[in-house]
């Protein structure tokens, strides 16, 4: 898109951090979107494709991903288990054989089981950490060296405002998103000066299947298209952290800096900050069944070293 390309070049010329960072024009970009079968991932794939990018969707649910790809001109979908480096290697081999490069990785795949921590099965905890943390690390581990060798590239990790705002009923999810944010910022520093950038997107509550049946009205709510626009925007800004809505991140920063915990606790009670503890089992039924299935698959495959040793 010419407008975005011009914006990127203008920003690059003005901001010291971006000097020496090659611009990426989406109309000529090879883009990977993980978890692209649904929700934020699907909308991000559509937006990049609408701006001329060549989009590869990677998702564990290959059939649904392929259905999504048929609605996106030029998009390709393949099975990708983000928790498995071998799966990443196969996925990237095909893309590199076809295009010879990867310009943008959007690490979007994620799961969000919520509820009382004491009731959370170990398999669910493993799934959250394997997908939301290991998946992000595996994606960066796969593409960052290739991008650094090429001297250009951009990684966008979908974290969450749950990576900064702790909430009851989201202990493991909060943990995973804090980790995704920390990994993004650390990788950003490690690859500074290589021509490669890493950004974290931090949505509040998003209207997708991920939050179905979970009352998260304590947080501002956005549509997946809003998050997709923020992802695309990072090609111009290369910002370290961006929230959706954009005002939430600086707003929470002010709370952390100036509001005493006693006052915060009182305010949290007023707005019922423990809403994630109260699930709608009917509204969340389909999502929970899919998560349970994926958790069982994850355990049987042995995504964690301890499971491999036990088999």
Catalytic residue list? 173
The torsion region of residue 45 among left (phi > 0), alpha (psi -120 to 50) and beta comes to alpha
Angle between helices 39-50 and 62-70 (to 10 degrees): 30
Beta-bridge partners for 121 = none
Radius of gyration over every alpha carbon of the chain, rounded to an integer in angstroms: 19
Minimal CA–CA distance to 37: which of 73, 62, 9? 62
Residue found under tokens 């009731």: 119
CA distances from 224 to 26, 46, 76, 89 (A): 19, 11, 20, 28
d(CA 99, CA 153): 14
> Each residue of 91-112: b (16+ CB within 10 Å) or e?
bbeebeeeeeebbbbbbbbbbb
């Amino acid at each position: 898109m010419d407008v975005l390309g011009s914006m990127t070049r203008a920003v690059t010329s003005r901001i010291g951090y971006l000097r020496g960072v090659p611009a990426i024009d989406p109309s000529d970009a090879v883009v990977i979107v993980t978890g692209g079968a649904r929700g934020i991932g699907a909308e991000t794939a559509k937006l990049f494709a609408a701006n001329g990018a060549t989009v590869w969707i990677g998702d564990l649910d290959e059939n649904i991903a392929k259905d999504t790809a048929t609605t996106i001109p030029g998009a390709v979908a393949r099975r990708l288990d983000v928790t498995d480096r071998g799966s990443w290697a196969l996925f990237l081999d095909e893309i590199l054989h076809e295009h010879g490069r990867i310009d943008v990785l959007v690490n979007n795949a994620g799961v969000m089981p919520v509820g009382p921590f004491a009731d959370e099965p170990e398999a669910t905890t493993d799934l959250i950490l394997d997908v939301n943390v290991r998946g992000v690390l595996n994606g960066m581990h796969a593409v960052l060296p290739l991008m650094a060798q090429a001297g250009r590239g951009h990684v966008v990790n979908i974290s969450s405002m749950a990576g900064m705002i702790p909430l009851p009923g989201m202990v493991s999810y909060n943990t995973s998103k804090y980790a995704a944010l920390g990994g993004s910022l650390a990788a950003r520093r490690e690859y500074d000066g290589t021509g490669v950038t890493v950004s974290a997107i931090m949505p509040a509550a998003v209207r997708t299947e991920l939050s179905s049946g979970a009352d998260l009205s304590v947080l501002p709510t956005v549509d997946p298209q809003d998050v997709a626009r923020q992802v695309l925007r990072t090609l111009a800004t290369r910002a370290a952290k961006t929230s959706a809505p954009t005002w939430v991140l600086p707003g929470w920063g002010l709370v952390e800096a100036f509001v005493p915990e006693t006052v915060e606790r009182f305010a949290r009670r007023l707005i019922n900050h423990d809403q994630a503890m109260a699930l709608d089992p009917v509204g969340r039924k389909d999502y929970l069944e899919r998560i349970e299935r994926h958790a069982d698959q994850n355990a049987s495959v042995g995504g964690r070293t301890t499971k491999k040793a036990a088999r």
